[in-house]
């Protein structure tokens, strides 16, 4: 029934749009149906094999990626400080992105760690077959040493969203990705980078399509399972969007981190607020979800269906505040 309601709502939205009046706001879809049970199936209660970054026994750690005005030490600190000030609490997890050649251990990384946050490093490794050919061994060893020097546990998302169709030219196949994952992890082992919890993080869409599981390296290789899930193109409850992933993850003794989640500006303040409220209860009824990280960003060049920043949208941001002030998300 929820899915039908969302389809009808979307049809109403299209029917009501006026493309001739630029200043007129299009009608917004109705709020998600919060009266029915969330699509919650990740009920594996452990014990979990989570690596150096331990999963809380109860509740879930809250974190975020906050796009800075400038990708500098000052800019990164200012972005995180601003959100923490607005929320009235520190982030337990700070998500940070790195290209293949960018090392961890920057001044801002060290500052976040000094404040007690856990880094979740989203590392965009390159072509899997060139990795397996040994072309990047020096770079991978350098990164392993940089991680080791942090001397604190780190979450590492090696080439997150590897299942995206637009990455197939460098991922090649699930088998290639798995082989590259094992290759990189072996180099980290050789460099004694033992402070890494390895996070495998595909997209919710990849599980809806059915191709994401082919990229899974195995329970012996992964410490945390993960998913990125957005109400962007599809305005549906978060439990429906990530339901296929949760069904799969429940079969594995791994804690779950929601690596990125967000609701797009296109769905209006009321719709966004309701979606966030539903996300809060969905996370809470999934005991296997042990960490979440909001994607507080409007990437440049993206339209309203790919703009997820809640700051500046009071009703939606209020629901984010309610979530992070819930003791469940401050274990």
| Active-site annotation, residues | 161, 260
- For the chain, what percentages of helix, strand and coil (3-state, to nearest 5) are there? 40, 15, 40
Q: How far apart are CA 180 and CA 282, in angstroms?
A: 34
For 260-312, the DSSP string reads EEEE-GGGHHHHHHHHHHHHHHHHHT-TTEEEEEEEE---TT--GGG----TT
Q: How far apart are CA 28 and CA 32, in angstroms?
A: 12
Output the six-digit token pair for 314: 């009071």
Within the chain, strands assigned E span 61-66, 93-99, 118-124, 154-158, 196-200, 224-231, 256-263, 289-296
Burial label, 318 (beta-carbon count in 10 A; 0-12, 13-18, 19+):
middle
- Looking at residue 67, the DSSP 8-state letter turns out to be -
Contacts 24+ apart (CB under 8 A), 247-251: 247/41, 247/42, 248/207, 248/213, 249/42, 249/44, 249/225, 249/288, 250/41, 250/42, 250/43, 250/44, 250/288, 251/44
């Amino acid at each position: 029934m929820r899915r039908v309601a969302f389809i009808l709502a979307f049809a109403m939205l299209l029917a009501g749009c006026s493309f001739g009046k630029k200043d007129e706001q299009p009608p917004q879809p109705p709020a998600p149906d919060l009266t029915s049970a969330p699509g919650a199936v990740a009920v594996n209660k452990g014990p979990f094999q989570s690596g150096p970054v331990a999963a809380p026994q109860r509740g879930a750690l809250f974190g975020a990626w906050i796009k800075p005005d400038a990708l500098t030490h000052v800019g990164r600190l200012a972005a995180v400080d601003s959100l923490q000030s607005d929320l009235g609490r520190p982030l337990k997890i700070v998500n940070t992105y790195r290209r293949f050649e960018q090392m961890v251990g920057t001044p801002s990384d060290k500052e976040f760690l000094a404040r007690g946050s856990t880094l979740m490093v989203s590392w965009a490794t390159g072509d899997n077959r060139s990795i397996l050919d040994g072309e990047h061994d020096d770079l991978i060893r350098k990164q392993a040493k940089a991680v080791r020097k942090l001397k604190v546990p780190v979450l590492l998302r090696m080439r997150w969203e590897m299942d995206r169709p637009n990455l197939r030219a460098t991922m090649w196949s699930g088998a290639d990705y798995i082989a590259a994952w094992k290759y990189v992890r072996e180099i980290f082992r050789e460099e004694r980078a033992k402070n890494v919890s390895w996070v495998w993080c595909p997209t919710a869409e990849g599980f809806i399509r059915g191709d994401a599981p082919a990229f899974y390296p195995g329970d012996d290789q992964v410490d945390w399972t993960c998913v990125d899930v957005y109400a962007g193109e599809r305005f549906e409850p978060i439990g429906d969007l990530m339901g296929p992933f949760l069904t799969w993850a429940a079969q594995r003794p791994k804690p779950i981190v929601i690596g990125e989640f967000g609701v797009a500006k296109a769905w209006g303040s009321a719709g966004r607020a309701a979606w966030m409220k539903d996300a809060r209860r969905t996370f809470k009824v999934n005991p296997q979800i042990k960490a979440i990280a909001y994607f507080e960003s409007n990437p440049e060049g993206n339209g309203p269906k790919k703009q997820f920043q809640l700051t500046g949208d009071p009703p939606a941001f209020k629901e984010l505040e309610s979530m992070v002030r819930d003791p469940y998300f401050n274990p």
